[in-house]
Amino acid sequence: MYTNVAGIKSPNPFWLASAPPTNSGYQVQRAFEAGWGGAVWKTLGEPIINTSSRFAAVSFNGQRVAGFNNIELITDRPLEVNLREIEETKLRFPDHAIIASLMVEPEQEKWHEIVKRVEAVGVDGLELNFGCPHGMAERGMGAASGQVPELVEKQTYWVKEVAQTPVIVKLTPNITDITVTAESAVQGGADAVSMINTINSLAGVDIHTWNTVPNVDGKGAHGGYCGPAVKPIALNMVAECARNPSINVPISGIGGIGDWQNTVEFMLMGASGVQVCTAAMHHGFSIVEDMIDGLSNYLDEKGIGSVQEIIGKTVPKYSDWGDMDLNYQTVARINNDVCINCNKCHIACEDTAHQCIDMLKGEDGEPILQVREEECVGCNLCSIVCPVDGAIDMIEKDNNLPPLSWNTRQNAINAKSLANS
């Protein structure tokens, strides 16, 4: 289970992300005792004053904390205190990875100073926080730097001028194309990139008081969104960077990771390791036990000797829409011996898809549902809304047509046009 991310070694790929769970030596030591392989210390810099309250959550369909919102900033404790606790923690847990998250104003001297002070206490690596979307951004740091490729490159370069340990650049998702800033980080000398930081968000509005959620004495502001709801966004951004040949550095995956299955997904899409925050805040540090056991069992079942072997295995399968085979076809098939006749598939198809599911009567007169396969476009909607596993299968349909992508089609059309001109 041993992992190596850009030279930062840890006993397993599970790190705590820079956030409230890594605010102090007490917490990080408790995490290491529980089994976490590494921790990115809550962002160090000039101590700030936090607000009260500062957290909010979005629940969905009975699931608590489907999404998590915060307006908390970087450390509110003196740098000297954090450095002392980092040193103490590293002495107690020499084999665990401690990465210091850093944020200062975009000035060369300030970066040089904090890097030297932090490395002097024995950290294994640095993570530059170019992602915090609130509070610090208004002061010219965090996402304010991370949204400007030139600043990402320049500040990374300043850090690399003096750094003796690996440098990870943490990127903001609040940008049109994260690969642009990832490339800038690499050009500045980054040894790795991590993504994603939190997404600009407002958790909600209290319709009775008209206050935002959260609010501070009746005033609200946008915060950072994380938790299970952001996993698809994070996974896509990791994948986009992993398949970009210009971003040829390890990726630390962050965003909605809460179990070993999520970890496998991120690693298959190119992450060398993962960072976890919201799940630990929701369930406590002990969740890592199931994550370690689950990942270990998965590797054993697959006959895979090392977790490193799965990194990026799905990346070659991740492409652009224009490369998809337009002639590949699937259709839905309903298993009436499993179907409970809730009619959700029929309603969804009739109202919002392609009207190809019929309500019929079986030989015994009981109602059954049947797909007109010749009209089914294989959109998957019926299988998605179906509440019963195994009631609807998506079946590949052999239509005897050769593979044809949009790009291939357009290239043929353009070639024919040129030939005729």
Q: Average pLDDT by consecutive 10-residue portion of the chain (421 residues)?
A: 95 97 98 98 91 92 93 92 98 98 96 98 97 77 88 97 98 96 98 96 96 93 94 98 98 98 98 98 98 98 97 97 96 96 97 96 89 96 97 95 96 91 78
Q: What is the structure's pLDDT at 364? A: 83
Q: What is the structure's pLDDT at 135? A: 66
The active-site residue, picked from 132, 241, 376, 382, is 132
Please state whether 194 falls in left (phi above 0), alpha (psi between -120 and 50) or beta: beta
> Using CA atoms, how far apart are residues 398 and 232, in angstroms rounded to an integer?
31
Distances in Å between the alpha carbon of 209 and those of 53, 71, 344?
Answer: 16, 20, 37
Q: Map out the domains of the chain with their CATH numbers.
A: 3-314 (3.20.20.70), 321-396 (3.30.70.20)
Can you give the pTM of this predicted structure?
0.94
Specify whether 342 is catalytic: no
Nearest CA-CA partner of 304 in 250, 268, 251, 252: 268
> Using CA atoms, how far apart are residues 349 and 347, in angstroms rounded to an integer?
5
The verdict on whether omega for the bond into residue 214 sits within 30 degrees of 0, i.e. cis, is yes
Task: Read off the tokens for 19.
Answer: 């956030």
User: Residue 170 phi/psi, 5° resolution?
Assistant: -90, 125
Nearest CA-CA partner of 23 in 58, 47, 55: 47
Strands (E) in 134-243, as ranges, are 167-171, 192-195, 199-201, 204-205, 212-213, 223-226
> Using CA atoms, how far apart are residues 235 and 340, in angstroms rounded to an integer?
34
Strand-pairing partners, residue 334, are: 392
Q: What is the structure's pLDDT at 139? A: 79
